[in-house]
Amino acid sequence: MNELKLLSLDFDGTMVGPWLNGTAAVSQELIECLHALRKAGALLAVNTGRTLPLVDQGFELFPVRPDFALTTEREMFRRTPAGWQAFSRWNERCQQDHERLFTDAAQIMADIEEHVSQERKVRVYRESGRLVGLIAQNNAEMDEVVVYLQDQCKRIANLWFQRNSIYLRFCHSVYHKGSVLQALQAELGIRAEETFAAGDNFNDLPMLDPNLARHLACPANSIEEVKQTVSSHGGYVAEMAGGDGVAEALRRACPQLESAGKRTEE
């Protein structure tokens, strides 16, 4: 059907959304586009901040199952008949690098926790007893926290974070949605020219890079930073929100999808 071999799509706010009363809008247009592209041989990777269990939970709402799950902005899993399996040794290296980083950064993380607990109403969240992220009350509060963290992260090499709205996850600076996408492409032998990427928030910025995906897009509900990035790289800023916006962008990138949709309607 087209030159696309890999789709790297954010989930919340991009494939689905907006959310209302615990339910997300699901785009029938996007479902049809993905079915057509998958039939033509394209692979679907959901590139998300969600953990693997939350990916499964999210896809209870969405009928097109991904071939790959790129989770927590850094880990890589392949869907098999037996369930999700780690793909290549990427996850092992990722986990080792994060273990070393968080061990070395223990005092800095303690200082960060003390600061946010005293100065603000930011909530912390932990994994295995370790501080791994923050949740602010609103975007304005998280904006201020980010300014503070940018300074704190200078205290040790490779300490950074990924932000999605009021949510923030600490990480090793080498690992993000862009680097995990690049690792997947290397494993599959897929080039940037054959890749489509779409997202809507701060943590999507690393994958919205023409060196990784020549076909870039974002839905209308995207933050301004994402819209500006996509536009500056010659990508497509959709007029519609969520999955409808992604479908709009896919139809623009693949004109054959229009005729395929018309044949389906007939």
Averaged pLDDT of the chain: 94
Q: Map out the domains of the chain as residue ranges.
A: 6-73+176-265, 91-172
What is the predicted pLDDT for the residue at 259?
54
Instruction: Indicate the Cα dihedral angle 11, 16, 22, 23, nearest 10°.
Output: -150
What is the predicted pLDDT for the residue at 112?
97
DSSP state of 229: H
Q: Is the pLDDT of residue 183 over 70?
A: yes
Q: How confident is the model at residue 119 (pLDDT cuts 50, 70, 90)?
A: confident
Q: Provide DSSP, 40-78.
A: TT-EEEEE-SS-HHHHHHHTTS-SS--SEEEETTTEEEE
- Better pLDDT: 38 or 2: 38
Three-state secondary structure call for residue 142 = helix
Q: Which CATH class is domain 6-73+176-265?
A: alpha beta
Q: pLDDT of 80-109, one tens digit each? A: 999 999 998 999 999 999 999 999 999 999
